[in-house]
């Protein structure tokens, strides 16, 4: 029998290895980030629309808000919602002057009939939710500080559409159909992918392979290998944003001309801030390749595997922040900032219970609560204010919805690391089945120091690094 403890153990071990890759790739991500706009994406809690991979943005470069069906209270008193946007707006103001931050509120739909559970698969209702957000957010900020967009993910193929305020739709699926693209390599110019990358560092990081070679096969390294994927994202973002400013014809040597023409024709009448044009083109090109790869994966699957891809298959509920490195469809993600977290947690629970009827789980329902920390915790109050007390508040909400018959993991992570450090804020709580508690030996004002915390974190990590 697989216990909740075993589940969490394997889950944490995978998290350690993923966060190690992120740490190694920090320079590449920082380079990407310097050329990308600060971005906030509001999404549904649905695990099928998890993460930023479909947009070509590395983990940690997009700030997410997530609520059931992307329904939120737009009231000013919804501090979490507005503060999350303010964080990105101010980050852009000080770090990327002349490049506004980007806000995208995403809905999702499905051609196979497995749309948004929260809206009862009603696409019109799902659209209404994001339109309300777009309108209200547009009203609160100037165009030169925040560029507001809507988005629509087709969860079967992971094709995304960007919805501009004037109603224009830049849709990867339409471009794929119109230009008759079949494989991920098709979106690029043939000559570009046949050669090795001209940048020496990128070429080295790609193991001196050509993009064409990296795009080959059923599960190409271009997307499946995180190192390679991040390096390609970085290179393409840099190249597209450079050429769009310098010499647009050069862009036609990288992306297939008819694809580029269609993108430019679709958006030419829109007043897009000059520094956002490149990132929007990059994001669209990446998503076309990503979606074509997803289509190919689906075609090579047997029926059971295909249904697991198309439908919900989430194994646990994640509540809080810092889950970006988890794979798609692994967890239902609930963030604070809806105005009423309970409703989102209720939907999460219902989705998991439905999934468990199809994919048998021998253990209790699983909930992972994580708090994300910026910077260092220097004294015990930092830990208590930023982590301990927040976990308590969230644990209470989760408890109200999930009751006592549930296995819960509580942890914190640093924003740039995404490594979960398990902590227990009440030792008697039997729902906290995972035994590790990195804070245990130092959890008081008298015993805490940053150096000891770092030591405990290192010991925890070493246990998994065999
Ligand atoms: Zn949904």
pLDDT one digit per residue (tens) for the chain, 466 residues: 689 999 999 999 999 988 988 899 899 999 999 999 999 999 998 888 888 999 999 999 999 998 889 999 999 989 889 999 999 999 999 999 999 999 999 999 999 888 998 899 999 999 999 999 999 999 999 999 999 999 999 999 999 999 999 999 999 999 999 999 999 999 999 999 999 999 999 999 999 999 999 999 888 999 999 889 999 999 999 999 999 988 889 999 999 999 999 999 999 999 999 999 999 999 999 999 999 999 999 988 888 888 877 888 899 999 999 998 888 889 998 887 777 788 889 989 999 999 888 888 889 999 999 999 998 999 999 999 999 999 999 999 999 999 999 999 999 999 889 999 999 998 899 999 999 999 999 999 999 999 999 999 999 999 887 6
> Distance between CA atoms of 99 and 78, rounded to whole angstroms?
27
For ligand 1, the distance from its centroid to the CA atom of residue 106, given in whole angstroms, is 9
Contact 251, 50 (CB under 8 A): no
Whether the model clears a pTM of 0.75, i.e. scores above it, the answer is yes
Place of tokens 């919602």: 81
- What's the Cα-to-Cα distance from 270 to each of 143, 146, 240, 266, 303, rounded to whole Å? 13, 15, 19, 9, 43
Report CA torsion sign: 343, 344, 345, 347: positive
Q: Could you tell me if residue 321 is left (phi over 0), alpha (psi between -120 and 50 degrees) or otherwise beta?
A: beta
> Distance between CA atoms of 109 and 256, rounded to whole angstroms?
28
For ligand 1, the distance from its centroid to the CA atom of residue 118, given in whole angstroms, is 5
For ligand 1, the distance from its centroid to the CA atom of residue 115, given in whole angstroms, is 7
> Distance between CA atoms of 452 and 176, rounded to whole angstroms?
54
For ligand 1, the distance from its centroid to the CA atom of residue 246, given in whole angstroms, is 40
Contact 105, 42 (CB under 8 A): yes
Residue 19: is it exposed, middle or buried by C-beta count within 10 angstroms (0-12/13-18/19+)? buried
The domain spans of the chain are 36-309, 313-464
Three-class secondary structure of residue 379 per DSSP: coil
Domain 313-464 fold is: Beta-carbonic Anhydrase; Chain A (3.40.1050)
Q: Are strands 406-414 and 421-422 parallel, antiparallel or unpaired?
A: antiparallel
> Distance between CA atoms of 461 and 146, rounded to whole angstroms?
39
For ligand 1, the distance from its centroid to the CA atom of residue 126, given in whole angstroms, is 8
Report CA torsion sign: 18, 84, 281, 32: negative
Contact 60, 263 (CB under 8 A): no
For ligand 1, the distance from its centroid to the CA atom of residue 155, given in whole angstroms, is 10
For ligand 1, the distance from its centroid to the CA atom of residue 102, given in whole angstroms, is 22
For ligand 1, the distance from its centroid to the CA atom of residue 262, given in whole angstroms, is 29
**DSSP H or E run through 229:** helix 226-246
The two three-digit tokens of residue 438, written as one number: 């990195």
Contact 412, 387 (CB under 8 A): yes
């Amino acid at each position: 029998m697989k216990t909740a403890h075993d589940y969490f153990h394997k889950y944490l071990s995978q998290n350690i290895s993923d966060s190690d890759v992120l740490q190694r790739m920090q320079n590449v991500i920082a380079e990407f980030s310097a050329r990308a706009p600060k971005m906030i994406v509001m999404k549904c809690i649905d695990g099928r629309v998890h993460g930023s991979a479909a947009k070509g943005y590395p983990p940690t470069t997009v700030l997410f808000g997530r609520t059931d069906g992307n329904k939120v209270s737009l009231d000013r008193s919804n501090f979490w919602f507005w503060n999350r946007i303010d964080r990105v707006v101010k980050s852009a103001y000080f770090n990327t002057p002349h490049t506004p931050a980007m806000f995208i509120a995403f809905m999702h739909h499905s051609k196979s009939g497995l749309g948004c559970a929260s809206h009862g698969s009603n696409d019109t209702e799902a659209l209404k939710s994001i339109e309300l957000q777009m309108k209200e957010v547009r009203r609160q900020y100037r165009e030169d500080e925040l560029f507001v967009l809507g988005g629509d993910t087709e969860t079967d193929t992971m094709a995304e559409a960007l919805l501009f305020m004037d109603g224009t739709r830049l849709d990867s699926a339409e471009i794929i159909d119109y230009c008759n693209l079949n494989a991920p390599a098709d979106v690029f110019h043939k000559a570009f992918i046949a050669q090795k990358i001209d940048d020496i560092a990128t070429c080295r990081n790609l193991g001196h392979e050509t993009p064409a070679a990296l795009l080959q096969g059923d599960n190409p390294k271009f997307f499946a290998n995180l190192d390679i994927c991040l390096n390609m994202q970085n290179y393409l973002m840099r190249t597209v944003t450079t050429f769009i400013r310098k010499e647009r014809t050069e862009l036609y040597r990288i992306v297939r001309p008819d694809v580029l023409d269609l993108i430019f024709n679709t958006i030419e009448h829109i007043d897009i801030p000059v520094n956002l044009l490149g990132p929007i083109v990059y994001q669209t090109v990446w998503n076309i390749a990503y979606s074509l790869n997803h289509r190919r994966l689906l075609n090579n699957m047997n029926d059971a595997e295909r249904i697991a891809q198309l439908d919900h298959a989430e194994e646990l509920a994640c509540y809080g922040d810092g889950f970006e490195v988890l794979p798609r469809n692994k967890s239902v993600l609930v963030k604070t900032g809806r105005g009423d977290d309970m409703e989102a947690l209720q939907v999460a629970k219902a989705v998991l219970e439905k999934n468990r009827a199809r994919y048998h789980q021998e253990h209790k329902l699983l909930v992972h609560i994580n708090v994300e920390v910026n910077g260092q915790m220097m004294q015990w109050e930092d830990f208590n204010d930023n982590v301990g007390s927040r976990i308590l508040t969230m644990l209470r909400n989760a408890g109200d919805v999930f009751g006592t018959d549930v296995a819960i993991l509580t942890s914190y992570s640093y924003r740039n690391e995404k490594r979960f450090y398990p902590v227990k804020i009440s030792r008697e709580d039997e729902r906290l089945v995972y035994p590790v508690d990195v804070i245990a030996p130092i959890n008081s004002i008298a015993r805490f120091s940053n150096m000891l915390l770092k030591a405990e974190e290192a010991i925890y990590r070493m246990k998994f690094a065999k």
